[in-house]
Amino acid sequence: MQKIICLSIFLLLTTIGNSQIKYEEVIDELPVRETKYKIRVPENWNGTLLNDLDYFKNADSERNLLFLEKGYALSGTVRRTDRYQKYDPAHEAHDFISIFDVFESKFGKPKRIIQLGCSGGGTVTLSMAEVHSSRIDGAIAACAATSQWMSNTYLDAMFVLKSLIAPELKIINFGSLNNEDLKKLQTDWEKALTEAQKTPEGKARIALAITIGQWPAWGGRGKAPVEQPNPNNITALQESMFQSVMRLIPSQRTRGTSMLENAGEGQLQTNIGLDYKELYNNGNEAYKKAVKKLYKESGLSLSKDLKKINAFKRISPDAKSLKYWSAPGRTHVGKPKVPLFRIHTIGDGLVYPTMAQGYRDLVKKNGYSKLFRSAFINSWGHCTISSTEWLVAVETMMERLDSGVWPSTTPQNLNKKGKNLNSNDKTRFIEFEGVKKYNRVWIPSINNYLGKNN
């Protein structure tokens, strides 16, 4: 066990609703990486520790106070200030292991540890389930990214838009631009897409981009600009596609892939060897139906546009970057060793819900389905998961750990569980239509591990 510095325990009191919660708190930083962390153990501790990457700054959130009131101990870190340049989920996982050691030395060994988190917290949760399963008992990953999958899913839709609408505009390496140049690039993309949206041809091609890229037709940051469309209402569906694309073009808000490339010191995105006709065929059935109708109305040939995309100059990855992201803990291979519950909002435009579908299918292919369940939430945005929905996920995991058998995770049963836990809140679990097949599952090859080009 690592030596911990300057450790103090405080007895505190907080109020949630009409309840007062007494708990002990530890705030400190770990040696070597100097990562700040926080631990809270309630007076009515039930023996379970919930650990979250983002706990430090969110300890007083509604969700975390609810967990505390229910008797769960909580722990976690703060995202490091150098994360944009040196992002490494493998190191984040090692920080958690150090926290577990601290916790055990001060409060005793928990009966069980559940790793959970959203976004980057979901990413490292998947890593913990696959690589450090000996230190946890279960995992709940929300809106979780796998770096290379996410980078290439982003690339595919942008590649279609570049091929068919704005061949002169940049779609990779935009993270290195200064703020002024990045703002200009954003403005140029907004102008190109707005002009395209005024024409039947442009509408068809924007719909094609969403379909090939396997992005959600209704999803992005901030407040939803349009109501969730009926997938059979092609006009509403295409308008929603346009609004989603406008929120995902290169900008300050979409520099996530740049963070990944900074860490790996090279280009991570690639579409070498892909057949974009096949990628289109793997798309969402309702989206493909809309694309065919929009192409017919525009007078364009869908087959000719697919050939045009396939003929466009491709993007190659850097072996150094692929080597970095091949390391265990930095990528995911669909082999969880503890019960893993993966949840995702269907309107997530930053970490695409189709990635969760791809992981589920990979887990099944690898023979780990008994350890895995997934569920989707009918919500616009990234990590827009209610406190009750989180509590449903945790209680579902607790039932799985108690009995050794998964309780029903159908949307109907999860929503019923949510109503029983909190009748004043809504739970929005829903069936997810998804895609025929997720296009961008990536498992590192031997050459990737060695840093050689395939």
pLDDT of residue 19: 66
Cβ neighbors of 61 (< 8 A, separation 6 or more) are none
Task: Give the whole-angstrom CA distance, residue 124 versus residue 116.
Answer: 9
Domains, in order of start, for the chain: 9-147+326-430 (3.40.50.1820), 148-319+444-450 (no CATH)
pLDDT of residue 133: 97
- Which residues are 342's β-sheet partners? 141, 374
Only one residue has tokens 């009748």, namely: 423
AA letter at 260? L
User: What pTM does this model have?
Assistant: 0.94
Cβ neighbors of 123 (< 8 A, separation 6 or more) are 89, 117, 141, 144, 145, 146, 147
AA letter at 411? P
% of residues, the chain, pLDDT over 70: 95
The tokens for 321 are 């970057």
The tokens for 313 are 């100059």
Task: Give the whole-angstrom CA distance, residue 315 versus residue 272.
Answer: 6
pLDDT of residue 411: 98
Question: Which residues of the chain carry a pLDDT beneath 50?
Answer: 1-7
Q: How far apart are the first and last CA of the chain?
A: 40
- Which residues are 24's β-sheet partners? 11, 41
The helix (run of H) or strand (run of E) holding residue 10 is strand 9-16
The answer to whether the beta carbons of residues 330 and 127 sit under 8 Å apart is yes
Per-residue pLDDT reduced to its tens digit, 264-301: 999 999 999 999 999 999 999 999 999 999 999 999 99
Residue 290, number of CB atoms within 10 A of its CB: 28
Q: What is the DSSP string of 65-118?
A: HHHHHTT-EEEEE---TTHHHH--HHHHHHHHHHHHHHHHHHH---SEEEEEEE
Task: Give the whole-angstrom CA distance, residue 373 versus residue 384.
Answer: 20
Alpha carbon 28 to chain centroid distance? 28
AA letter at 90? A
